[in-house]
Amino acid sequence: MNRMKRVNAITAHPLYRRCYARLEELERGRIFCRHQMPHLMDVARIAYISSMEQGLGIEKEVIYAAAILHDIGKYAQYEDGMPHEQAGEKIASEILETLPEEASFSEEEKRMILTAVRGHRRLREDAEVLEKLLYTSDKASRMCFSCPAERACGWSIEKKNMEITV
């Protein structure tokens, strides 16, 4: 089994742990989509498989890092109304900049991850490869077609994922 030292360093980072714990607390009774590890790992796995299928050549740990960081700012959206992609980019930047040297990402990898975190909610016309991959994988991970809360969900039918997609 391939241990992902850099991704594990992110999830062990004190700031990540605090933000993630707060998000879990705020979503404890939520009946709609949650933003915890099962969702984050679904996004990571879909993105990695899609990257391999499309021959994108994006390093696995970069994909997983973007996926586990993409919703880390969601608690700020609940508490302060700040869009979670903006809060998430700020939090992710601090985490990436303070990882131990042996678990650090290159400057280009950090830039790619932060761009993907910032762009995962609305697809820009000139989206970068990882940004688009994270966006599409995030959407594909939601299984609205089998969600017991689908009828009560405020998402438009166009936004809901009503079929298995990749």
Angle at CA of residue 149, ends 156 and 33, nearest 5° = 75
* pLDDT band, very low/low/confident/very high, at 3 (cuts 50, 70, 90): confident
Q: Is the pLDDT of residue 141 over 90?
A: no
Average pLDDT over residues 90-94: 98
* pLDDT band, very low/low/confident/very high, at 146 (cuts 50, 70, 90): confident
Token representation of residue 121? 């909610």
State the chain's mean pLDDT as an integer: 90
Provide Rg for the chain, Cα atoms. Answer: 15
Question: What pLDDT sits at residue 1?
Answer: 64
Average pLDDT over residues 63-78: 95
b/e per residue, 48-82, with b = 16+ CB within 10 A?
A: bebbeeeeeebbebbbbbbbbbbbbbbbbbbeeee
Q: What is the dihedral of CA 40, 45, 47, 48, to 10 degrees?
A: 140
Q: Is the pLDDT of residue 57 over 90?
A: yes
How buried is 100 (Cβ within 10 angstroms: 0-12 exposed, 13-18 middle, 19+ buried)?
exposed
Q: How far apart are CA 45 and CA 83, in angstroms?
A: 25
* pLDDT band, very low/low/confident/very high, at 27 (cuts 50, 70, 90): confident
Token representation of residue 14? 């004190």
Q: Who wins on pLDDT, 136 or 150?
A: 136
Element (H, E) at 30: none
Task: Say what the pTM is.
Answer: 0.91
